[in-house]
Amino acid sequence: MKKHTLLILALAVVLVMPVLMHSGSLASEVLIFGLAAMGCNLLLGFTGLLSFGQGIFFGLGSYTVALTLTRWPLPMPLALALAMVTGGLGAALVGWIAIRQKGTYFVMLTLAFAQMFYFIAYTATGLTGGDNGLLDIPRPSITAFGQTLWPLTSPWQFYGFVALIFLVAFWLLLRVSRSTFGRTLLAVRDNEERAGAIGYNLKLLKLQAFVISGAVTGLAGALHAMMIGIAPLANAEYHTSEMILVMTVIGGTGNLFASVLGSAFYLLLADWLSALWPRWLLLLGMVLMAVSLWMQRGLWGLGEKLWHLRQGKHGQIRDQTTVQGNKT
Amino acid sequence: MSTPILLEAIGIEKYYGKFAALGGVDLKVRANTVHSVIGPNGAGKTTLFHMLTGTKSVSGGRIVFDGHDVTQEPDHRRVQRGIARSFQVTSLFLSLSVRENLRLAAQGTAPTKAMNCWHEPEGPRACADTVASVLAKLGLESFASTPAGNLSHGQQRRLEVGMALAARPKAIFLDEPTSGMGIDDLEDMKCFIKSLRDEHTVVLIEHNMNIVMDISDTVTVMQQGRVLAEGLPHDIRSDDRVRAAYLGNMITGGKA
Amino acid sequence: MNIYLLQIINGVGIGMLYFLLAVGLSIVFGLLRFVNFAHGAFYLLGAYFCFQMTRWGLSFWLALLVVPLVVGALGWLTEKLMLRHVYATAHEFHILVTVGLALAVQELVILQWGPLGDSVAVPDILQGVVMWGSFVYPKYRLFVIAFTAVLAVLLWYLLEGTRLGSAVRAGSESTEMVSLLGINVFRIFSLVFALGAATAALAGVLAAPIRGAEPFMGVEALGVAFVVVVVGGMGSFSGALLGGLLIGVVQSVMSTLWPEGARLMIYIAMATVLLLRPHGLLGRKE
């Protein structure tokens, strides 16, 4: 795969959505959850860590931006940056503790932490608004020298803003995934024991992955709060963590763009089907089972197969042991 | 003629619950020698390796390497000290290419560079020289881009040793490097291990007595978690206690 | 009656149900080495099938017998047709396939019975309270405690005293060894999984008259089951019992002292155990 293919694909998605879709909010959501899924993928697809705690960082981002745009006002860019910091710090804490265990025990720990965070958010009504959440989050326009440069009031105006942030974040994460660090993570995923035996400090590597994941997810949570105007308790629920995981897996853990595919698939399906059939989650559950059983490389893997079939490269598909689907 | 002692293990003990895998082992390994550890199954050879390389922690005793007390250090720290190992059961990064496997092993001696999330592993981070030289030594150049999982068993065993070499260690620990190898590969591996002595210190677990007797400078015999005998290959071959431990018929040298 | 005594007895009652809920999960983990995220779904089905049977005018007692068998059969089918295919893959897919299943089952339940939930009547003979001096307590809850206690003994006997049980315990140590001994390991996997599903469903049936049947009870139950299994020890029968009782009593007593804190506390307990003693209070070291 060429070096810039993924970035071009991401750009394509960003440019195509306003043309094909009616709802600016939905388009923004696709990018926002695309970011969250990428954060999850950094842990799952690259490091081999299945985390049920992504909702924690998403929620932290939402609450931070809510508080720093209403109660303790900060300029909006700073509020977003702070959301990344709290997401990253939360992930550092959860990660530092959860990493002490491996395999299933690690997964259960992330689950336990997610539940704890939910109940803390539920009871700390002073900070989080409890069941009600934090309301009336504004969308301040981007200003310079007193002039309004870019109002964010309409859905498509906000989309433009989200798209820009998304593309920058995508590019940065892509760099991380291709960096020395990203390559070392792949080794950790492949054979953790050997990675330790050849000199790598596993705890430090996993922790850094967690922090980056948490920061990106926090950013997504912040943008989400700005978009819907509230920081709801639901962001900290099990369902949010589950949803982000589902998007990541369905898209495919092979590369970062696949996560955007996953988020688009989930949200567009939800939007389209939920009006027709309230029980559309049934379909999603079945898709998840199908992917886990037969299509473990997700939608991206499916796309790759179809592409190769079209190109007539039958031989390439047969050998499943080739280097994991070009992580780049 | 005697080179300085590079590694000294004093009174190493390892308990799994009540079971004593190692009941007090002393070992002295001299620099630039091939030091073999042999013994019947269950003697504790691999456990000893785990203790020396830091793969698992000791229950008691001390380990001094190159003048430093490394007893409490985990395996990844000891790699920086100059200790590298291969595993009895092949443990490679199967989904990654041979070159990438070796690059990772070479990079492992400078792990802080692995935290770099901006730069791709090019230039110094590619460790190209080390990787190229190990590939050449192992004869795996034509397989550099092949995923490690696609190699034959013999090639994988060679790469297994290569992973340890790529760290340019002072002491290289090889755990049954020839296990499962065919006759053709065996001779090559024997000469190869012997050649390592010039630049490294080799600590070797082997069941193949041909290799042990031919290339070792020192042989330590273990039995049931303790050292039974230690000395030159010739002396060990004729030692009565060792004969008894092996039920008399395995230390014949020249037979695989 | 002393409120704390009341809460402790309630706690024991809840705890026994938690034990029944968790023991299946624990044994499945011990043998198959993966966590079944669809376990709560079997509990859910148990409660709803019981509800449906009472709707049809059938007795609760019949439901108590039939529902676990039906759900057990469903569990057996699930393992045989679906899970067997994922054993060889990365562990994340075991978990995710059961997550998908749980989601699908929950939606199917809502599709069939609606999203609001229904109540199940306590069977006639067990209605009302028992009075013994100043001790007043609902008959049904006492029945639950007694019944699950008997069941616990039966299960214990099954695991410790029968050949099947020995095979299961041996399989937990080494599936390779067991298959070399000529025992069909895969059949045991299916049986154990079915047993896990059946016990979860039984817990659902018993719980239905107390808290009704409601579509999201599966997710809630799963969370609790995880805590019990982790605290008690993954793969341990007695751990599930101890864990269940401990969590049940703690939750019950806390609900009078600090209601919101109760749920938080049990998850803190879970995290603490995972960190300090990951194999749980009574679990075996790996």
How does the average pLDDT of chain C come out, rounded? Answer: 86
Q: Give me the mean pLDDT over the B44-64 stretch.
A: 92
Q: Identify the residue among A188, A194, A210 best suited for mutation to test binding to B, counting B beta carbons within 10 A and taking the highest.
A: A194
Contact A205 B113 (CB under 8 A): no
- The rounded Cα B235 to chain-centroid distance in angstroms is 23
Q: Identify the residue among A41, A186, A289 best suited for mutation to test binding to C, counting C beta carbons within 10 A and taking the highest.
A: A289
A113 near C CB under 8 A: yes
CB pairs A-C closer than 8 Å? 117
Contact A44 C92 (CB under 8 A): yes
Which of B246, B241, B219 minimizes the C-alpha distance to B232?
Answer: B219
pLDDT for res A314: 55
pLDDT for res A91: 97
Domains of chain B: 1-82+169-256 (3.40.50.300), 94-168 (no CATH)
Number of residues in chain B: 256
Which residue among A178, A187, A212 sits closest to B96, beta carbon to beta carbon?
A187
What is the C-alpha separation between C31 and C17, in angstroms, rounded? 22
End-to-end, the C-alpha distance of chain A in Å comes to 8
Residue C175 pLDDT class (50, 70, 90 cuts): low
A325 near B CB under 8 A: no
A21 near C CB under 8 A: no
Q: What is the CATH number of domain A5-318?
A: 1.10.3470
Q: Which residues of A touch B125 (CB under 8 A)?
A: 180
Q: Give me the mean pLDDT over the C157-167 stretch.
A: 79
End-to-end, the C-alpha distance of chain C in Å comes to 46
What is the C-alpha separation between B135 and B129, in angstroms, rounded? 10
Long-range contacts of C167-175 (CB under 8 A, 24+ apart): C168/C27, C168/C31, C168/C192, C171/C31, C172/C30, C172/C31, C172/C235, C175/C31
Phi and psi angles of residue B230, each rounded to the nearest 5 degrees, phi first: -150, 140
Which of A76, A25, A80, A83 minimizes the C-alpha distance to A58?
Answer: A83
Beta strand spans in chain B (E) = 5-16, 19-30, 34-38, 60-65, 68-69, 83-85, 171-175, 201-205, 218-223, 226-231
In a domain, C281, yes or no: no
pLDDT for res A321: 41
Q: Which domain holds residue C107?
A: 3-276
Phi and psi angles of residue C267, each rounded to the nearest 5 degrees, phi first: -75, -30
pLDDT digits (tens, 9 = 90+) for B186-226: 888 888 898 898 889 999 999 888 888 899 999 999 988 99
End-to-end, the C-alpha distance of chain B in Å comes to 30
A184 near B CB under 8 A: yes
Q: Which residues of B touch A212 (CB under 8 A)?
A: 117
Contact A191 B91 (CB under 8 A): yes
Which residue among C33, C111, C270 sits closest to A112, beta carbon to beta carbon?
C270
* CA dihedral of residues A159, A162, A168, A173 (deg, nearest 10): -120
Contact B91, A193 (CB under 8 A): yes
Contact B47, B27 (CB under 8 A): no
- Work out the minimum CA distance from A199 to partner chain B, whole angstroms: 4
| Chain B residue with minimum CA distance to A320 | B95
What is the C-alpha separation between A107 and A110, in angstroms, rounded? 5
A181 near B CB under 8 A: yes
Q: Token pair of A29, please?
A: 């959501």
Position A284, amino acid: L
pLDDT digits (tens, 9 = 90+) for B152-197: 988 999 999 999 999 999 999 999 988 888 888 888 888 889 889 8
Contact A97 C268 (CB under 8 A): no
pLDDT digits (tens, 9 = 90+) for B124-152: 778 888 999 999 988 899 999 999 999 99
Residue B247 pLDDT class (50, 70, 90 cuts): low
Phi and psi angles of residue A245, each rounded to the nearest 5 degrees, phi first: -60, -45
Q: Which residues of C touch A240 (CB under 8 A)?
A: none
The residue written with tokens 């750009």 in the block is: A11
Kindly list the partner chains of chain A, i.e. chains with 3 or more CB atom pairs below 8 Å: B, C
Q: Identify the residue among A100, A189, A193, A198 best suited for mutation to test binding to B, counting B beta carbons within 10 A and taking the highest.
A: A198
What is the C-alpha separation between C254 and B75, in angstroms, rounded? 45
Residue C176 pLDDT class (50, 70, 90 cuts): low
- Work out the minimum CA distance from A127 to partner chain B, whole angstroms: 34
pLDDT for res C179: 67
Alpha helices for B139-219 (secondary structure H) = 153-165, 183-195, 209-215
Those residues whose C-beta lies under 8 Å from the C-beta of residue C200, and which sit 6 or more positions away, are C20, C21, C24, C25, C39, C40, C42, C43, C46, C71, C221, C225
Which residues 296-325 of A are in CB contact (within 8 Å) with C?
296
pTM of this structure: 0.88
- Work out the minimum CA distance from B84 to partner chain A, whole angstroms: 7
Residue C90 pLDDT class (50, 70, 90 cuts): confident
Q: Which helix (H) or strand (E) holds A38?
A: helix A24-41
* CA dihedral of residues B68, B74, B80, B85 (deg, nearest 10): 100
Q: Identify the residue among B115, B146, B170, B174 best suited for mutation to test binding to A, counting A beta carbons within 10 A and taking the highest.
A: B115
Per-domain residue ranges for chain A? 5-318
What is the C-alpha separation between B29 and B35, in angstroms, rounded? 7
pLDDT for res C29: 84
Phi and psi angles of residue B7, each rounded to the nearest 5 degrees, phi first: -130, 130
The β-bridge relationship of strands C135-138 and B171-175 is unpaired
What is the C-alpha separation between A48 and A55, in angstroms, rounded? 18
Contact C111 A282 (CB under 8 A): yes
Task: Look at residue C223 and tell me whether its pLDDT is greater than 80.
Answer: yes
Kindly list the partner chains of chain C, i.e. chains with 3 or more CB atom pairs below 8 Å: A
Task: Look at residue C167 and tell me whether its pLDDT is greater than 80.
Answer: no
Which of C223, C157, C191 minimizes the C-alpha distance to C21?
Answer: C223
pLDDT for res A320: 44
Q: For every residue of C186-234, which 3-state class applies, written as one string?
A: HHHHHHHHHHHHHHHHHHHHHHHHHHCECCCHHHHHHHHHHHHHHHHCC
The residue written with tokens 């042991």 in the block is: A321
pLDDT for res A239: 87
What is the C-alpha separation between A133 and A123, in angstroms, rounded? 11
Long-range contacts of C272-279 (CB under 8 A, 24+ apart): C273/C230, C273/C231, C274/A101, C274/A105, C274/A108, C274/A109, C274/A112, C274/C230, C275/A97, C275/A100, C275/A101, C275/A109, C278/A101, C278/A105, C279/C233, C279/C234
C157 near A CB under 8 A: no
The residue written with tokens 């002595």 in the block is: B197
- Work out the minimum CA distance from C10 to partner chain A, whole angstroms: 23
Q: Identify the residue among A100, A180, A205 best suited for mutation to test binding to B, counting B beta carbons within 10 A and taking the highest.
A: A180
Q: Which residues of A touch B134 (CB under 8 A)?
A: none
Contact A293 C97 (CB under 8 A): yes
CB pairs A-B closer than 8 Å? 107
Q: Token pair of C53, please?
A: 């049977």
Contact A187 B104 (CB under 8 A): yes
**CA-angle at C220, arms to C150 and C273, nearest 5°:** 75
A316 near B CB under 8 A: no
Position A186, amino acid: L
How does the average pLDDT of chain B come out, rounded? Answer: 88
pLDDT for res C251: 87
pLDDT in 10s for each residue of chain A, 328 residues = 677 889 999 999 999 999 998 888 999 999 999 999 999 999 999 999 999 999 999 999 999 999 998 888 888 889 999 999 999 999 999 999 999 888 888 888 898 899 889 988 988 888 888 888 888 888 888 877 777 778 888 889 899 999 999 999 999 999 999 999 999 999 999 999 999 999 999 999 999 999 999 999 999 999 999 999 999 998 888 889 999 999 999 999 888 999 999 999 999 999 988 888 888 889 889 999 999 888 888 999 998 888 888 887 555 544 444 444 444 4
Going A294 to A296 to A300 to A305, the CA torsion angle's sign is negative
How many Cβ atoms are within 10 Å of A312's Cβ, its own excluded?
7
- Work out the minimum CA distance from A87 to partner chain C, whole angstroms: 20
Q: Which residues of B touch A200 (CB under 8 A)?
A: 76, 108, 111, 114
Q: Token pair of A71, please?
A: 């109660």
pLDDT for res B201: 93
Q: Which helix (H) or strand (E) holds B139?
A: none
Provide the number of structural domains found in chain C: 1
Q: Residue C39 to residues A110, A279, C263: CA-CA distances in angstroms?
A: 18, 21, 20
pLDDT digits (tens, 9 = 90+) for C231-263: 888 888 888 999 999 999 988 888 888 877 777
C110 near A CB under 8 A: yes
Which residue among A180, A202, A321 sits closest to B121, beta carbon to beta carbon?
A180
Q: What is the ipTM of this complex?
A: 0.88
Q: Token pair of C283, please?
A: 């679990």
pLDDT digits (tens, 9 = 90+) for C177-195: 666 666 677 788 888 899 9
- Work out the minimum CA distance from A32 to partner chain C, whole angstroms: 23
- 3-state class of C35 per DSSP? coil
Residues in B whose CB is inside 8 Å of some CB of A read 53, 55, 74-76, 79-80, 84-85, 87, 91-97, 100, 104-105, 107-109, 111, 113-121, 125, 147, 149-150, 163, 167
In a domain, C162, yes or no: yes
Q: Give me the mean pLDDT over the B63-81 stretch.
A: 92
pLDDT for res C234: 81
The residue written with tokens 């550099």 in the block is: B144
| Chain B residue with minimum CA distance to A205 | B115
pLDDT for res A315: 52
Task: Look at residue C166 and tell me whether its pLDDT is greater than 90.
Answer: no
Task: Look at residue C164 and tell me whether its pLDDT is greater than 90.
Answer: no
Q: Which residues of A touch C270 (CB under 8 A)?
A: 108, 112
Contact B160, B138 (CB under 8 A): no
Q: Can you give the CATH number for the domain in which C23 is found?
A: 1.10.3470
Q: Which residues of C touch A289 (CB under 8 A)?
A: 82, 97, 100-101, 104
Which residues 211-240 of A are in CB contact (within 8 Å) with B?
212
Phi and psi angles of residue B208, each rounded to the nearest 5 degrees, phi first: -80, 105
